[in-house]
A and B are shown apart, each in its own frame.
Chain A
Amino acid sequence: MLVLNQILYDRFGRKFKLHFSGDGPIPKKIKPKVFFDLVSTRSFLANLRVGEWYWQKLSYHLIGDSPYSADPFYYLDTVARLLIQGRIKLFVISDMQAEHHSVEKRIFKQRNGMSYQIVTPVALITNPGKTTKKFTSKKEAVQFVRSLSLGEENLNDLVRAFKLELPIDNTLNGKQESLIASIGDAVMEEKVLFFEEIINNPPISEVVYEDVDVKSVPLGPETDVVQIKVLAKIDAEYRVVLFDKSLTSHQGPSEEKVQTGATEVELWLDQDISSPVFDQGANISLSGPGKIQAFLDKDLTTEVNLDEPILCDKITGGKKLKIWVKGKSPGKFKIKVTPLASSNGKFLIQPPAELEMGVVELMLEVYEQDTQEIAKIKVDPDQEPITKYHTDLEAVNFPPQIVLSDENKIKKGRVLHVQHAGNFGRSKVVVKALVESQFPRGYGNCQLTLSSGGKSGSVKLFDSEFDGREVSLPLNLNKADLTIDKIYWVEGAVECNALRETRLDLGLSVGGKPTMRNGDWACFTVVKIAEVGLDIVTSTGKAEVWDKARNRFYVNLDGTEDARKLKSKPSDRNVKVKAKLTKKISGVKVHFCLVPDKRNWDKTHWGANLINFEFSKVERGLKQIDKIDRKDLTHLFANTDADGSAELDSLVLSRIGGDVFKLGAYLGQDAHLAKFVDGHTTLSKREPIFSADSIEIWRKYHIQNTYNKNIALPSRALTRTSFEKCFIEIQEVDENKYDPATIGGLVEHELWQFDMSGSTRKVVCVGDINKAKFTSLFKAPTDTTKPKAHMVMCDVQWDSDMGSSQDFAFSSRISSINYKNRAGNSYLGVFDPPLGGGAIVQSPSKWAWNDGSKMHQGRLDDTNISIEKSRGHYSEVKIELPATCPASCPCGSPGTLIVPTAARKAIVRVKLKAATGPWAGESGGVGNPQCLIVVDSNLNRFNNTIAHEIGHLFKSVRKDTGWKGIPDHPDQYIRRGGQGSHCKENATEHASRVDQNGDKIYVGGTCVMYHVAVGNNTFCDNCSADLRVRDISDIFKD
């Protein structure tokens, strides 16, 4: 007969029934609760609301006489063992109400009659009358929680409900104590509160217990005699683990981490009989040179400490612990899983499970150009012939590419340009041979896979540095073939959106399973230079040095050097030499080059008639600067900014008119493009990125034409054409048409006086006497019109000249003379009025005649002369002696008839205010850009004169030898019929006429700078070469 109350309650009111053998069979639908080990069973029983003595009594009834024990757990243990053995049963009688109470509403009743309700701090507000239990120390709080005798299940409920920190200790007892400690902490921190209420009911144990007859209670037979084999199991996706080089440590904080592919391993404890489930966990041990790191997730965020046992709930009862492992040290290793010993004797633990695996190191080497060594390469460009320079360039051997460190593979990456027409370089990559000893046995058939990936951009693989065959990606390589290194070459295919967004990685796969990626990997930055250009914005009112529409760069408009420098000049212009990538990628090194057009050094471009011209000898300072040292192979560079633009302000254009350059750009990793030579058979094959516009070096020179408004100025087109050969653009500015009537003191003559044409047209004769009236009309050059010269256009040009005193012999009283210059080798012009104003006849002009007995003398003045319209020459002056001698005559017989004859000639001494000329033009002098040009309807002569005089302003024809490396001018001369220094190309010597030195004068010259303006409008090659090199920033410059 049942004598004990077999209905038992736990702290939450759940109801259990003890079932003894005498109670008959348990209904089939009810499953008794299974107990495996003493600790958990004892814990369960302790959680039931009965007093300790209940277990004493029950023990007594169940097993009869039993020694008394003071140990309160002794009797509990006795009952627990009977439950484990199945000799008594216990099953749950559902109490839905209790089970569905939330933790907060559960009432905990202590044996002493106190009742506690667990509440949150919020509940205090809604229950103002209630008091909560207070604790003075954590120890007191922990003891209180422990006194509630909550089982692990209840403790877990509390921790979860109040979101308390989970305990670290996973061992069974340790865990329970940790849960209690965790709740104790929360109680102290008043995250969890207990309403305290005294209930006057007797202790629970007294309610449920009824003293009984002490007849023994029959026990059932032991039912758990079968042993359960516990087997440790290991299953691995691969038996290889990729060695993790920790490359992610080199990634930036914002970069998505590229994890080395991990190997999935499953661990579990199997048992031949599924129930009861093994109650212990397992130990994992590793041995061998290979070291691994294990994680609970594929993303490798939660690491597993393999030195600690794995709890049974993770690996038993059909559960498998999945871990993902990556290699920390290469080499083979063994993983062993050993089940922990159980106190439950039913479980028969089998030998540990072992699996041989290997941590395999994959190595992908990525190379870049050795830019430091390349920067040291020197090639002398100043060689003759220039083909020698080109040959040297072809012979340049670049140093081998250098391997990037692991850090640089990630942090820096390899920069590549998107390939086009084979212009751009490739990066060497090497798949290193595998180390056989790292592989577990039976792993001969795995494959390495070289794959590309990344957020943006792409690369292509080739089998050689240049040209060659493309190798498809992903590339699978058999392990058997990787006993030696495999070399490949990578080129850019599609540009990245940002730095290092293209990757190559090495992975491993076996038997068609998914590849474990990123065993080794490297970053690439694939870029594309979208454009290279020269952009100049000129401030208002400043010189436009760059005519983009005509590709002309005027290097002379801002002094000798400033305009040549492709650099902003505050307040004048903003200059940008810029290369822009298609994407906004910063930190990419871009070289800029001024690539000379092949014409630059071509002698025919300079002039076929130049003798001994050698481009290499042309002064270096005149040539472009795009390298730190002219002999450097590589050019100046700049790095791109956040906008993907690189700007450079240190390029300098050449000063040589006619030079043509292409602005080019190439990456620091494409230094081979520094060898580009325009027009060369081989060196022109691989091109940098060029600007759309070429840059042709020009100089611009402004002229102001000042001329009589009453004339139509003939075309100056031929002048412009003349200078275009020398790459000087003549631009007319500030034209000034003057009205002769408004120029004070200007004396006009009738034309016949100068050309004996009989024309009475009034003309303006400009010369040294009056030219200031015209030169003052020069408008000072501004920033937009300098350098500038003044072309004063004249009808005729003569210079006033005070003639010498000349004696003529008259055989008649009236005679015409021809007045010559002091040297007697040229006629002077005698005009009325004289150019210098005043009297024509100068003192002391006089005459003397000896009549045979007496000498007669008298003075002459303007009344004695006449300049007649019908005269045959501009030097001709008609002189009429007085008919009789004057009163002042020393003869003493004034009034004597003066009758010179051939036999008795009169001596006529005249000194006239005359003029030298006629001149076709006059050039200015240093600091005086004023030229006089005689208007000539013959366009050839007219323009010849203009070009000639401008030429003189630029120091043509050069006398200097060894100047700027330009051949000495072979046709330069002075005198020989001209004034100053001129050019005699194609001239011959006159048969008889000589100059003041007795040298024959030249005739028939064909250059603009021939001493006479005969109508030549082409500068000879030598004069042209000079003008191409001359500093045109002002007149008379070097």
Chain B
Amino acid sequence: MKCNSRILDWKIVNVFIVVAVLVCNSACSISQESVGVSKDNLNSTSKRKKVGNPNMSLQTLIESLDNIDLTLISSNEAIKDAVYDELPMSQVEGIALRILTPVSIAEQHDTKLIILIGISSETNSKTPLDENARIVWTNKESNRVSEVELYPQPTNKIPMPEDKVPLPPLNPVLPQHLYSVEVVNIREKLKIDWVPSTYTFQVVVGELISNKVDFELVEYRD
């Protein structure tokens, strides 16, 4: 399935960023404070943001990511399970990212961005995750901003007509909250050029905005 990657015009990007910040400051209380130092993302720690309800600290989500062993990264399911295991039994709303950086283009042919999303059913009903989650990235050399849907939409299905589908439950027992962990091969999904360069990544779901992580592609890692 092709991603819907597109290059945004700078004017649009600027407006988008301004609007996002305004929305987050007013409605989501996006924190601008540092959220600590990552073991493997030292140069991005100063830019991590605390996002979300003050009562449900984003820090918790970031720490959940920080605590996992990145040697598991070769297996998507393993890394997901590890993240799920790290989650507290509390319902934290926010989006946290983690990425291994720098990456040597000579040594690695791809790398993965780990995304942890915590979202309440209420928020999810307003901005359904599948349809609203977007990865936004900036090439810092060119200042070009791009975005792509996190969850590709299937386009080749025809649903059953409603009269063929069982009626929805009369009194459904529905979740209050959900967590979703995604592991994205950024070279494959974002189609970024595998040449020395630096990027920043963020994930946006409606009014939820993740911490920003920097990512550097280098010829060789020191």
Contacts and interface: CB of A to CB of B under 8 A. Distances in A.
Interface of A: 755-756, 804-809, 815-818, 820-825, 827, 843-844, 846, 848, 855, 857, 872-876, 907, 909, 911, 917-925, 934, 936, 941, 945, 948-949, 952, 975, 978-981, 995-997, 1011-1015
A822 B180 contact: yes
A873 B125 contact: no
A956 to B, nearest CB: 12
Contacts of B11: none
Contacts of B158: 919-923, 945, 948-949, 978-979, 1011-1013
Nearest to B174: A818
A703 B134 CA distance: 39
Contacts of A945: 158
A808 B178 CA distance: 9
A624 to B, nearest CB: 35
Contacts of B173: 808, 815-818
Given A823-B130, A875-B172, A996-B128, 7 more contacts: A807-B176, A822-B180, A825-B130, A936-B164, A948-B158, A980-B157, A1012-B162
Given A824-B125, A909-B89, A843 B81 contact: yes
Contacts of B91: 807, 907
A1012 B161 contact: yes
A873 B159 contact: no
Contacts of B125: 824-825
Given A820-B174, A922-B157, A872 B169 contact: yes
Interface string B177-203: 111110000000000000000000000
Given A907-B89, A921-B158, A979-B157, A822 B129 contact: yes
A601 B10 CA distance: 47
Contacts of B169: 818, 827, 872-873, 875-876
A817 B168 contact: no
B12 interface: no
Contacts of A825: 125, 128, 130
A1015 B155 CA distance: 20
Interface centre among A874, A952, A995, A996 (most CB of B within 10 A): A996
B25 interface: no
List the 9 shortest-distance A-B pairs measured between CB atoms, nearest first: A996-B131, A823-B128, A980-B155, A806-B175, A823-B130, A818-B172, A848-B89, A824-B124, A807-B177
A805 B128 CA distance: 15
Nearest to B181: A805
A823 B129 contact: yes
A840 B167 CA distance: 23
B14 interface: no
B16 interface: no
A979 B153 CA distance: 7
Contacts of A843: 81, 84-85
Given A818-B169, A872-B170, A873-B169, A934 B160 contact: yes
Interface residues of B, number: 42
B86 to A, nearest CB: 9
B34 interface: no
A907 B177 CA distance: 10
A936 B125 CA distance: 32
Contacts of B15: none
B166 A952 contact: no
Contacts of B121: 824
8 contacts: A806-B177, A824-B121, A824-B124, A873-B172, A941-B164, A995-B131, A996-B131, A1015-B161
Contacts of B128: 823-825, 996
B182 to A, nearest CB: 10
A274 B161 CA distance: 128
A1000 to B, nearest CB: 15
Contacts of B129: 804, 822-824
B4 to A, nearest CB: 11
Contact of B178 (A804, A872, A924, A1011): A804
Nearest to B131: A996
Contacts of B220: none
A816 B171 CA distance: 10
A806 B160 CA distance: 26
Contacts of B124: 823-824
A938 to B, nearest CB: 8
Interface string B83-116: 0110101010000000000000000000000000
Contacts of A872: 169-170
Contacts of A917: 160
Contacts of A875: 169, 172
A1013 B155 contact: no
Nearest to A818: B172
A463 to B, nearest CB: 72
A804 B161 CA distance: 26
A756 B174 contact: no
Contacts of A820: 174-175
A857 B156 contact: no
Contact of A919 (B89, B160, B172): B160
A473 B124 CA distance: 99
A996 B159 CA distance: 16
Contacts of B167: 873
Interface centre among B132, B168, B181 (most CB of A within 10 A): B168
A809 B176 contact: yes
B159 A978 contact: yes
Given A806-B178, A844-B81, A846-B89, A1013 B132 contact: no
Contacts of B178: 804-807, 822, 824
A924 B155 CA distance: 10
Contacts of A806: 175, 177-179
B78 to A, nearest CB: 11
Given A806-B178, A823-B131, A857-B89, A756 B166 contact: yes
Given A824-B125, A857-B89, A1013 B161 contact: yes
B6 to A, nearest CB: 15
Nearest to A982: B158
Contacts of B168: 827, 873
B156 to A, nearest CB: 5
Nearest to B85: A844
Contact of B156 (A815, A934, A952, A1013): A952
